[in-house]
A and B are shown apart, each in its own frame.
Chain A
Amino acid sequence: HFYLYEKVNIIHLHFIAQLQEAFAAGLLKPGMNVLVDKPKKLVNNVEGLKQCLADFRKDLPWVERLDLTNLPAANIISQAEEKASAPAAGELDADDDFQREMFFYRQAQATILEAMPLLNRHSIATKRPEDYFAEMAKSDQHMQKIRKKLISKQMIMERSEKAKKLREQRKFGKKVQIEVIQKRQQEKKAMMSAVKKYQKGMTDKLEFLEGDQKMNKESSQGSKKAVNKKGPSAKRKYKDQKFGFGGKKSGKKWNTKESYNDVSGFRAKIAHGKGGKKGKGGKQNKRPGKSVRKKMKNRS
């Protein structure tokens, strides 16, 4: 510990001595003198590298080395899709994982395509015969694990596909069911109104009874067009306009500023009590009052 302190002291003294010398020589100027690092120079001894390579290189026949240098093979997929994403080797984006791995894959492919004829020439086999059993780099147990994982992945995908399809089917089935129910309700309504009309004596034709049979024949032809000729009723239209399409939306404020200030529905005459009824002929079939009906009943 003591020794280190001394050493540091000595270095300091040496440094100070240097400064004193510089000052005496007139090299130091007044003011702050800051130590500046020399810009770091990186070694690139091209000559040395080449020399080293020449010394180190072993001139072995290709059969010993089995090395090839090539660009990746043509990208069939991108050619088929005519994608303009054919980067030269210099533009390979290391961050785009898929592109990068495809690049490596194609480089290996190009090597193989080039190497096959060469290997055949040197009578080196690439295919292992069926009865040749030898130790593999990965054990059979490991390969089983891999196979199981692949199978499980496939099953999961299949299951999710099936679930999706089922969901779609159910939605479709529900839609069809709703349509059928609505159609039946409409028919019932039509029938009931026809019956009522007959009861009240508005029409004396009993065609509506056979109407079903006739309707069934005509329905497929063109009556579907005539069903909704008038579209939504006036009441429906008014409600749509007031509350928005698709029905009244929950939570919508009723007494907003706009609705309060809106005086379009103000009729001065009615407000002052002068409007009165629409005149005579409001209802043609005015239903008699309770007492009159009772009298009628008692009479009959």
Chain B
Amino acid sequence: PTGKWTNKERVLIFSSRGINFRTRHLMQDLRTMMPHAKADTKMDRKDKLFVINEVCEIKNCNKCLYFEAKKKQDLYMWISNSPHGPSAKFLVQNIHTLAELKLTGNCLKGSRPLLSFDPKFDKEPHYALLKELFIQTFSTPRYHPKSQPFVDHVFTFTIADNRIWFRNYQIIEEDGSLVEIGPRFVLNLMKIFQGSFGGPTLYENPDFRSPNMHRREMRLAAAAKVREKQMVKEMQKGKKTSAKEDLESDVTADVFLTPAEEKPADIQTEAPEPKVVKKKQKAFKRQRMQMLSLHRNQYST
């Protein structure tokens, strides 16, 4: 059954220069998943960010997902409602793309997703704003010409460890058995702005640590450890080679002195007399036997 496409949402997905293959594949995957998405060429980072609003207007898009890569290491994602705002900047981590062999699910290209949110999104005002942004950006409008009428996959947004975790599952059975399709990533919120790519800051994440700071801290910690070890070694060396103090008196000198009574010195001038040895003169066995027999003979007769 066809109907009129009324919810005119269009998302512009593009990136800056200097992205790596993983980011590029992530962008392509998002474009595959969202039939209401449009692509654009890479933007030079020299230009200011509000230029993006103009690009969106040219392309007739009212939402934008802009991926910015810095130092060839860190990936930031801007999500924005063009031209009036609001917008948010995230640090993206743990990217896994559709092409990974461990993500075995599949879905129709352009099918509409179910969106699943953690109840935590309703508890804080900044999360509530983000939730609205996500809903408007990621849900495929009904009766979009490139969309399929079936609902066969679900996007989940969960908050854990002060980050937003994104997963995409394929619905196999109506009782709820799922397989992951991909892509998957983790968003670490940095700031929310009132305008699109600018404007007053509405929210700053207190738990956010920039990746540079993080790397610096690791390096400093490692350096501190090494320095500490060296210091300990030097101290031990110093102890060994330092001159030990000479003891004047031996503390243990009196340990074995046992006071005893003085015996009178007995000096013998003459040699003692030889001892008289009383030796029993025992006759040899034969003689003894003879004597015994003699004795017996004597008394027998």
Binding site for B on A (CB under 8 A): 42-46, 48-50, 52-53, 56-58, 60, 63-71, 73, 89-90, 92-95, 100, 103-105, 107-113, 115-116, 119, 123-128, 134-138, 142-143, 145-146, 149-150
Q: Which residues in B have their C-beta under 8 angstroms from that of A126?
A: 150-152, 171, 174
Check A45–B203 contact: CB distance below 8 A.
yes
Give the bracket for the number of chain B residues in contact with chain A.
Answer: 35 or more
CA distance A65 to B154 in the complex (A): 12
Could you say which of B120, B167, B203 has the most chain A C-beta atoms within 10 Å of its C-beta? B203
Of chain B, the residue at the smallest CB distance from A124 is B151
CB distance from B149 to the nearest CB of A (A): 7
Is B200's CB within 8 Å of the partner chain A? Answer: yes
- Given A67-B139, A111-B116: A43 touches B201 (CB 8 Å cut-off): yes
Q: Are A104 and B165 in contact (CB under 8 A)?
A: yes
- The yes or no answer to B125 lying at the interface (CB within 8 A) is yes
Q: How far is the CA of A95 from the CA of B160 in the complex (A)?
A: 10
Query: Is residue B115 within 8 Å, beta carbon to beta carbon, of the partner chain?
Result: yes
Pick from A53, A90, A137: contact of B107, CB under 8 Å: A137
Chain B residue, CB-CB nearest to A128: B150
Q: Separation in Å of the B228 CB from the closest CB of chain A?
A: 27
Contact B128–A53 (Cβ < 8 Å): yes
User: Which of B114, B126, B136 lies in contact with A58, CB distance below 8 A?
Assistant: B136
Shortest beta-carbon distance from B119 to chain A in Å: 6
User: Does residue B161 face the partner (Cβ distance < 8 Å to A)?
Assistant: yes
Closest to A135 in B: B109
The smallest beta-carbon distance between A38 and chain B, in angstroms, is: 15
B55 within 8 Å of A (CB atoms): no
Q: Determine the residue in chain B with the shortest Cβ distance to A50.
A: B125
Q: Is B16 an interface residue (CB 8 A)?
A: no
CA distance A43 to B201 in the complex (A): 7
A112 engages B174 (CB within 8 Å): yes
Give residues of chain B (94-138) contacting chain A, Cβ–Cβ below 8 Å.
98-99, 101, 104, 106-110, 112-122, 125-126, 128-129, 131-133, 135-136
* 16 A-B residue pairings within 8 Å (CB atoms): A49-B125, A50-B125, A53-B128, A56-B129, A57-B132, A66-B114, A70-B117, A90-B120, A94-B161, A94-B163, A104-B167, A107-B156, A124-B150, A138-B98, A145-B101, A146-B104
A50–B129 Cα distance when bound, in Å, is 8
| Contact flag A134-B151 (CB < 8 Å), given A69-B122, A145-B101 | no
Chain A residues, Cβ within 8 Å of B205: 42
